[in-house]
């Protein structure tokens, strides 16, 4: 991958389009510190980040929903409540007294359940593996929403989940953007990106090849850029 | 497997316990006397405390084979100090200090050098055993009465070791179920890589459980010293296996991420101690003991494998 430069603005939903293997997931993983980069700079609110590691980024309000929710996003054997509270645990109860009064935990879990509209038939104590794909994805998203992210990176957030859950996730993305967060969405479904995003970037074999604002959204142009059948626009 | 089977597995340790009590109860009248039952709890306390530390390590999918050796070294050093006339509280403090050094040694190697816990703590076991034998010159140390006095001292008519025992269990239970640290232990045990992606400081968690396991070994050594008043060259030997068996019998998974201290590990430790006590009471052939131990370990492993099949 080389020569990639882009800005994600506050309150913006930015789509990342391209074919499989174009480097979209790789880019997201680098941004979250899961994969290493040779050089290049990442800035958050104008401040250059020297160390990219999940923990540092989470502390700064970055969240990343990976494309493999079952293997990377969830403790499948653990309870729903445990999965929801996982990332926010260290922020809670730094004092021993608060530790033992578990109300904060239960309150957070109950609140986020209603935010992500988790199926009310599911209980907090049931293992996540017993849930449907859509509900599992809502748990992963809920886990990250609890951190009040300023930047949310979503890799294929609606893959293999039911239509109802898809729309819930679109709604949550818009809500978050309305609250001022920047959202980067990777998706292989072009209609999804065109419906969801304010701007779409297109990647092809490790390079950024196009950048379209909403007004210029055009299936043909995005496809051409992704396939490389048309002259490249922008950088 | 169906839901009923799962329930049965959940209650398996309890059923086993009941069966063991019933068996020895019919074999000897003395067995079910309150005095003997209290005795079982007192005898189980040191194994239980080690097993609590072991539970923490097992929950992260690790293992600590050095706990028995840590008990030995800590007891040997404290014993030497006590014989040389050092004050008792200082000797106890040094025991904790020694256990922390060994725990930190394990933690450093496992998290930084990244060697397998199973092999590395085995190495620590031999280091500890060797050091302990050097310190005691392979002789039994008979300690001043002060140790036995704390062993039999009572607070609100309950023996001090029993308070320590209860304290460790309750504290461990609260830490595991109610603190962010405790929940992170489970997450690390489920999947270290996933835990890292959730921003958990996995290295710290892994290091912390080794330290906890070490300190639990030191506390168990104190309790044992209070009961025996002596350090023999076999002090703490094979405690690691009793501890692992107790934890696993109680439902803690060797694969990490699943288990509990209350009631699981406590029940496992009581079960093991009850069998040992019962064999003595019914005057069983001593050559039978290792066979019975093997049956206990087999039962633990069988339960573990059945549980893994269910979940």
Q: Tell me which of A122-126, B201-205, B245-249 is least confident.
A: A122-126
Domain that holds residue A137: 13-227
Q: Residue A210 in contact with residue A201, Cβ under 8 Å?
A: yes
Instruction: Look at A93 and B257 and tell me if their CB atoms are within 8 Å.
Output: no
Q: Identify the CATH number of the domain in which residue A63 sits.
A: 3.40.50.300
Give mean pLDDT, residues B294-307: 87
> Which of A137, A135, A59 lies closest to A91 in space, CA to CA?
A59
Mark yes or no for CB contact A86/B193 under 8 Å.
Answer: no
A179: in domain: yes
What is the number of domains present in chain A?
1
- Rounded Cα–Cα distance for residues B24 and B55 (Å): 28
Mean pLDDT of A35-52: 87
Q: What pLDDT, on the 0 to 100 scale, is given for residue A230? A: 57
pTM, to two decimals: 0.89
Q: How many other CB atoms sit within 10 Å of the CB of residue B23? A: 14
- pLDDT at A231 exceeding the cut of 60: no
Report the residue of chain A nearest B200, measured CA to CA: A55
Residue A102 reports pLDDT greater than 80: no
At A40, the pLDDT band (50, 70, 90 cuts) reads confident
Q: Do B257 and A78 lie within an 8 Å CB cutoff?
A: yes
For range B204-229, the mean pLDDT = 95
Question: Per-residue pLDDT averaged across A84-95, rounded?
Answer: 74
- β partners of residue A211: A201
3-class SS at B212?
helix
Per-residue pLDDT for B250 more than 60? Answer: yes
In the predicted structure, residue A214 carries a pLDDT above the cut 60:
yes
CA atoms of B172 and B268, how far apart (whole Å): 16
Instruction: Let me know if residue A2 belongs to a domain.
Output: no
The secondary structure of residue A187, as a DSSP letter, is -
> Is the CB of residue A98 less than 8 Å away from at least one CB of chain B?
no
Are residues A100 and B201, on separate chains, in Cβ contact within 8 Å?
no
Which pLDDT value is given to residue B95?
96
Determine the pLDDT at residue B307: 83
ipTM of the prediction greater than 0.90, yes or no: no
List Cβ neighbours of B147 (8 Å cut-off, separation of 6 or more).
B82, B88, B225, B226, B229
Closest CA to B148 of B64, B71, B225: B225
Give dist(CA B133, CA B73) in Å, integer: 8
The pLDDT-based confidence of B9 (bands split at 50, 70, 90) is confident
- A66, A76, A78 member nearest B197 (Cβ): A66
- Pick the residue from chain B with its C-alpha nearest to A70: B194
Confidence of residue A235 (pLDDT cuts 50, 70, 90): very low
Q: Provide the pLDDT confidence category of residue B100 given band limits of 50, 70 and 90.
A: very high
What pLDDT digit, counting tens, does each position of B191-200 carry?
998 899 898 9
**How high is the mean pLDDT of chain B?**
91
Q: Which pLDDT score, from 0 to 100, does residue B115 have?
A: 87
Between these two residues, A102 and B195, which has the higher pLDDT value?
Answer: B195
B2-310 — its CATH code? 1.10.3470
- Between A6-10, A15-19, B119-123, B302-306, the lowest mean confidence (pLDDT) is in B302-306
- The answer to whether residue A28 scores a pLDDT higher than 90 is yes
B257 contacts in chain A (CB < 8 Å): 75, 77-78
Question: Which of A57, A66, A102 is the closest to B178 by Cβ?
Answer: A102
Q: Do B184 and A66 touch (CB under 8 A)?
A: no
- The reply to whether residue A54 touches residue B199, judged by beta carbons under 8 angstroms, is yes
Give the 3-state secondary structure of residue A16: strand
pLDDT reported for residue B158: 81
Per-residue pLDDT at B59 exceeds 90 = yes
**Hey, which bits of chain B come out as E strands?**
141-142, 154-155, 158-159, 230-231
Contact (CB, 8 A) for B73 and B105: no
Q: For A11, what's the count of Cα atoms within 13 Å in the CB-facing half-sphere?
A: 3
In this complex, do A90 and B200 lie within 8 Å of one another by their Cβ atoms?
A: yes
Chain B hits for A103, CB-CB cut-off 8 Å, are none
Give the one of B180, B191, B311 whose C-beta lies nearest to A92's C-beta: B180
Sequence spans of domains, chain B: 2-310
- Give DSSP secondary structure letters for B152-182: H-EETTEEHHHHHHHHHHHHHHHHHHHSHHH
pLDDT-based confidence at residue A12 (cuts at 50, 70, 90): very high
Dig out the tokens for A158 from the structure: 């609606």
Is the predicted pLDDT of residue B132 greater than 80, yes or no?
Answer: yes
């Amino acid at each position: 991958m080389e020569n990639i430069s882009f800005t994600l603005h506050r309150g913006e939903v930015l789509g990342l389009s391209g074919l499989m293997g174009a480097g979209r997931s790789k880019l997201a993983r680098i941004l979250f510190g899961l994969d290493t980069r040779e050089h290049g700079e990442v800035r958050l609110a104008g401040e250059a980040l020297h160390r990219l590691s999940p923990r540092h980024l989470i502390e700064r309000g970055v969240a990343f929903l990976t494309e493999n929710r079952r293997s990377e996003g969830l403790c499948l054997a653990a309870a729903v409540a445990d999965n929801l509270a996982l990332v926010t645990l260290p922020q809670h109860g730094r004092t021993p007294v608060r530790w033992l009064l578990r109300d904060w935990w239960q309150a957070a879990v109950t609140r986020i359940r209603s935010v992500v509209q988790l199926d009310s038939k599911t209980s907090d104590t049931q293992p996540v593996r017993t849930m449907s794909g859509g509900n599992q994805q809502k748990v992963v998203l809920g886990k990250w929403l609890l951190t009040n992210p300023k930047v949310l990176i979503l890799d294929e957030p609606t893959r293999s989940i039911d239509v109802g859950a898809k729309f819930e996730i679109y709604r949550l993305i818009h809500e978050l953007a309305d609250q001022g967060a920047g959202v980067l969405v990777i998706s292989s479904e072009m209609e999804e990106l065109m419906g969801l995003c304010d701007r779409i970037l297109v990647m092809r074999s490790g390079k950024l090849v196009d950048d379209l604002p909403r007004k210029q959204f055009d299936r043909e142009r995005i496809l051409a850029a992704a396939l490389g059948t048309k002259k490249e626009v922008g950088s | 497997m169906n839901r009923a089977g799962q329930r049965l597995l959940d209650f398996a340790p309890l059923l086993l316990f009941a069966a063991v009590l019933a068996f020895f109860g019919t074999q000897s009248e003395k067995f079910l006397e309150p005095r003997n039952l209290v005795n079982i709890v007192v005898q189980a306390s040191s194994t239980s405390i080690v097993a609590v530390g072991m539970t923490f390590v097992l929950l992260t999918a690790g293992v600590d084979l050095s706990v028995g050796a840590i008990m030995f070294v800590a007891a040997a050093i404290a014993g030497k100090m006590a014989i040389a006339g050092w004050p008792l509280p200082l000797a106890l403090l040094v025991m904790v200090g020694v256990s922390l050094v060994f725990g930190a040694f394990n933690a450093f190697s496992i998290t930084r050098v990244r060697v397998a816990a199973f092999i590395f703590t085995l190495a620590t076991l031999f280091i500890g055993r060797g050091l302990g034998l050097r310190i005691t010159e392979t002789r039994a140390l008979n300690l001043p009465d002060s140790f036995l006095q704390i062993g039999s001292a009572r607070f609100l008519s309950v023996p001090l070791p029993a308070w320590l025992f209860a304290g460790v269990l309750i504290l461990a239970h609260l830490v595991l179920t109610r603190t962010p640290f405790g929940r992170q232990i489970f997450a690390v045990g489920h999947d270290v890589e996933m835990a890292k992606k959730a921003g958990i400081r996995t290295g710290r968690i892994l290091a912390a459980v080794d330290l906890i396991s070490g300190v639990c070994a030191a506390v168990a050594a104190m309790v044992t010293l209070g009961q025996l008043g002596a350090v023999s060259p076999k002090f703490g030997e094979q405690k690691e296996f009793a501890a692992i068996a107790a934890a696993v019998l109680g439902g803690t998974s060797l694969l990490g991420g699943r288990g509990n201290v209350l009631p699981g590990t406590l029940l496992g430790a009581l079960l093991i101690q009850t069998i040992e006590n019962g064999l003595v009471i019914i005057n069983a052939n001593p050559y039978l003991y290792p066979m019975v131990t093997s049956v206990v370990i087999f039962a633990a492993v069988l339960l573990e494998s059945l549980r893994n099949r269910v979940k």
